Structure formats: structure tokens, C-alpha cells
Structure 1
Amino acid sequence: MARIADTEGLEAALDNEGVALGLLDNTYSPTLVEFYGELGLDFIWLDLEHGGPDPWDAPTMENLLRAGELADIELLVRLPDTDPTLVRKALDLGVRHVFLPRVETAAEVETAVRSARFQYDGEPGDRGLGAPRARRWGQVPDYVEAEDRETVVGTTIETEAAVENIEDILAVPDLGFVFIGPLDLSVSFGHPNELDHPEVQEAVETVRAAAVDAGVPVGGLGFGMDDVNMKAASGYRILNIGSTTGALGGAISDWLDAYENPT
């Protein structure tokens, strides 16, 4: 099936050469992961922090990964914790792009990134070497080099402390990207769900500007396509444009509103 959309691709976005558009699949359905790939999205966001399957549930995660591989779409997996063991588990299953929740210091980020590398910043990394699914059970001859080259670990910036430490976080070697979480930032700054509050907006802009200046790809949520286009023009490289339930809710609501009840 020919793809409908013509997007840049996640790898190009991470190289700061394009913009990747993706969608949060909050049904965690392999069928929909495959379908979205056929539509031409660059990535599917699987949020294991706020829902979804247990990240330790290997068969479920493998089926989601197989669907992404079949349709040539990347899975961007947010883990529920920064535990290095959990990071390694996800990577060994075949996840290539993970991002961390609620980090506040560069040390937390560096520990997680190091756990995803065999060689890290000129020193031994902390990743275990086995023959898991990511290695095709021992069938990939250049596995170590390929994993260190292709694995991406990013982090969400969603607390006041993380904003205060953003320069140090951005300086962590091999940090793949930062993703701005305005909803949790609004909570952290004491203004829950007030995304237009000056303190929240200032925090978002502080992170965006710092990431662009540091050459670290920055991601965020798009609140409508006008907002997506504006953010793409201002340096965002990874943009979530909606969710499965949001798209279904909008479509079904439109259908119901258009229904002309004859009674």
C-alpha cells in the first residue's frame, strides 16, 4: 500500500534535518500501529507511564514492535520509570527509541543513557550483552556497533527542577532528545492545566530555546495543526499531533452532529 502522507522521518528529525509527526496510540493496538504506519506517520508514541501494558510484558511489547516493523514506523516508547534495568529490558526487546519520565537532574539522565550503551563517552557502558530479540537471537554480526549507533534515549522535561537544570541535562553525552511536557509543568509550577499561565509558558520557552541552542532535538505536543505548524517553524523536531481516542472522538462527534433525526 502506498503511503498517504509525505513526512520527514524520525531519524531525520533527530539529526535536526526534518520534523517528525506522530500520534499517541492510547489503545495500544498492533493493528492501529500497522495502520498508522501505512498512513505515513513517522512514529507512534506508546505511553507506558500513564497507561498501556506492563513494560515487562515481553509478548505484548513484541507484538507492538512487530506491527511497527511491518509498516516501517518507529515506536517512541515512554517508560514508566528511569530504572536502568527497565531501559535495558525495553532495548533488548527491540525498542529503538525510549524516553524517560519526570527526570530532574543530569545525573539521572546520564545513568539511563549509559545503561543503553555498550560504549559510552569513551568508556565502557552499562548495557548487558546477550542474544535477545534486538539481536535477532544472535543473528546480527555487528550488533554492538549497530545498537550503540541506532539506540536513542531521550527525556521528558516536565518539572520545575528539570527546567532549572536544563543546561546540565542538555549537556549529557548521547542524549537523543528532550520532550517538553507542558501539562505536568503546569502542575509542577502550581497552575494545573493552565497552559497559558505566564510561568508555564516561560518554562516551555526556556527549554525550547536551550535545546535549539544546544543542538539537541526538541519535541512537544501539538494542540491543533496551527499550533503544530507554528512549533515546527520555531525549532521543534518531534511533534505529537493527536491521539487515537481524540481522533475517534472528533470523527464520531461530527457524525452524530450531522445526523438529521427524522423523528
Structure 2
Amino acid sequence: MDITNTLKPRLTARADVPLGTWLMSGTPSTAEALGHAGFDFLVLDMEHVPIGIEETANILRAIALTPARALVRLPWNDPVTIKQVLDGGANTIMLPFVQTADEARAAVRAAKYAPMGMRGVAAVHRSSGYGASTDYLQRANDETCVLVQLETPEALSNMADIAAVPGIDGIFVGPGDMAASMGYIGQIDHPEVQQVLAQAARDAAKLSLPVGIVGANAKMVQDYIDMGYTYAAIGSDMALMKAQARETLDTLRGSAPATLAAGASAY
């Protein structure tokens, strides 16, 4: 069994802009279908979708049948959940609401085996092919990709310290929570929020740090790429499905197409 993480070098090399989408339906079939749609990665969201470890493992199985790669957004920076998700088949994880370098170090400790971390050792689990990958324990630290979400101005002010933590492979800026933390909840398009997002991309570039973001539609994502974001997610499975359904119905009914509210959440 090959445990090579093909997404990690795509993200860290910053040679192109990998594109993904969010999985909000929590179903293997939807994930598998979108995995064949051309996305480079799919964000399996354990923070806002009511799924547990078993459902996550089944969705990972579905994504593994496609050309897309899985990125699991954990519900919190919790060592037990990190361990179970990694044992369950994930090799790229993202931790929400990381504010400081100490919190980033805690994420790395939970995700890496000794001596780099404190991840518990088990030989027979899904990520090792239930023991078929005899070199899993030796390679896992290198193949595991750890991303952290910076979602407040405070977190952005600590970007350099967070990026300096060994084992942190990149960051992801959360525009919705950033807007909320700045007092502009639901207003991602507010000029002050956009200025902060643009500055975050510039700061990450100075650090040669992979920096991702999510946008509600292609235009928003292109704007973020133009700012300097190096990987991005476009909306979500549910948002894309609903938008296509509404467009089809509007066409058949002769209605004016519905437009996304300015500053709307991406997922």
C-alpha cells in the first residue's frame, strides 16, 4: 500500500493553485461524485457537519476512489480527535481557530509520532492498510500535512511565529470568522475585511508560506488568487448543487437568475 501524500507537495511547492471545495453534505456518495469533477482536493468538514470518526472514515474511502485528495478539517485542536482521524485514513488535516504558536505546536505534537510529537502508536489501522504498509510508522511524520486556520486579527499578528513552528505546513485564512471577529459578521466583502485578507496573503508570501482561503464563487476565488492566495476552495457541495438547481429552474421559468448576496458565506 502506497501511503504517499500527493497533496502535501502540491500545497507546499506553491507552483500552482490547487482548487477544492467544501463537503457539507456529510455523505460518501456526494464526496465520490465531486472527486470525479476535477477538484484537486475536497475539504471534509468535521467542525460544522454532524459527522463522527466512522462517517469520516467512510467518506475518506469514497474520496480515495477518485483523483481528488482529502483534506480533513477537524472540529477542534484536540489530540484525541487528531489521532483518530489520522488512524482512520487522513493524511492532510486542518485545525480551526489556531491563535498562537503554542496552539500550533500542540497540533503538531498530536499529529506526529515521537520524537517529533506524541501521537499514539498503533500498527493495525486504516492509514497503514491495517498493517500492510510495513514502513508506515517510519514515513508517517513526513507524509502527514498539518494546516492551521487563522481566523482573527490576533492570529494573523502571530503568523510569523506560527509559521516558524516545525511541522506546520501551511495556513488557511477563514474569511467568515475573520469578518465576524472584526465586527462585520456576514460582511466578508467589507473593505476593511478585504484589506486584512489581502495583507494576510502578502505576509504569507514574505514567509514563503502556503496560504489558503475559501470563496463563495469563481470571481471571489479569483480575487483571492490575485491577492496571492496559493490554494483555494470554491463554495461547497451543497452550495454548488443549490446554485445549479436554481439556475436551471430560473432558465426554464424565465426568471432572473438569483444572485449571491454580497459577502455571503462560501459554505
**1:140 is the counterpart of 2:133:** yes
Output the CA distance in 1 between the equivalents of 2:238 and 2:134.
Answer: 41
Alignment RMSD (CA, Å): 2.0
Output the CA distance in 2 between the equivalents of 1:142 and 1:191.
Answer: 49
Partner of 2:117: 125
Residue correspondence of structure 1 range 7-18 to structure 2 within 5 A: 11-18=9-16
Deviation digits for residues 5-56 of structure 1, max 9, x if unmatched? xxx96642332122111111211121121112222211111111112302xx
Output the CA distance in 2 between the equivalents of 1:80 and 1:208.
Answer: 25
From 162, 175, 198, the counterpart of 2:168: 175
Partner of 1:46: 44
Output the CA distance in 2 between the equivalents of 1:13 and 1:43.
Answer: 10
Output the CA distance in 2 between the equivalents of 1:10 and 1:137.
Answer: 23
Output the CA distance in 1 between the equivalents of 2:33 and 2:9.
Answer: 20
Q: CA separation of 1:222/1:32 partners in 2, compared to 1, >3 Å: closer, same or farther?
A: same
Partner of 1:92: 87
Q: Residues 10 and 43 of structure 1 are in contact (CA less than 8 Å); yes or no, is this contact kept in structure 2?
A: no
Q: Residues 10 and 19 of structure 1 are in contact (CA less than 8 Å); yes or no, is this contact kept in structure 2?
A: no
**1:211 is the counterpart of 2:204:** yes
Output the CA distance in 2 between the equivalents of 1:174 and 1:10.
Answer: 12
Letter in 2 for 1:183: G
Q: Residues 202 and 227 of structure 2 are in contact (CA less than 8 Å); yes or no, is this contact kept in structure 1?
A: no
TM-score, normalization: structure 1?
A: 0.87
Q: Residues 10 and 238 of structure 1 are in contact (CA less than 8 Å); yes or no, is this contact kept in structure 2?
A: no
Residue correspondence of structure 1 range 60-79 to structure 2 within 5 A: 60-79=55-74
Partner of 1:190: 183
- Runs of at least 5 residues in structure 2 that lack an aligned partner in the other structure: 1-5, 255-267
Deviation digits for residues 153-195 of structure 1, max 9, x if unmatched? 1111112321221221111112121111111011111121222
Output the CA distance in 1 between the equivalents of 2:189 and 2:235.
Answer: 19
Shift of 1:68: 1.1
Output the CA distance in 2 between the equivalents of 1:173 and 1:44.
Answer: 25
Shift of 1:100: 0.7
Output the CA distance in 2 between the equivalents of 1:224 and 1:10.
Answer: 24
Q: Residues 181 and 220 of structure 1 are in contact (CA less than 8 Å); yes or no, is this contact kept in structure 2?
A: yes
Letter in 1 for 2:132: Q
Letter in 2 for 1:64: I
Task: Specify the SS of the correspondent of 2:94.
Answer: strand
Output the CA distance in 2 between the equivalents of 1:258 and 1:199.
Answer: 36
Number of matched residues?
248
Q: CA separation of 1:257/1:163 partners in 2, compared to 1, >3 Å: closer, same or farther?
A: same
From 19, 26, 29, the counterpart of 1:28: 26
Output the CA distance in 2 between the equivalents of 1:9 and 1:133.
Answer: 19
Q: Residues 182 and 193 of structure 2 are in contact (CA less than 8 Å); yes or no, is this contact kept in structure 1?
A: yes
Letter in 2 for 1:239: A
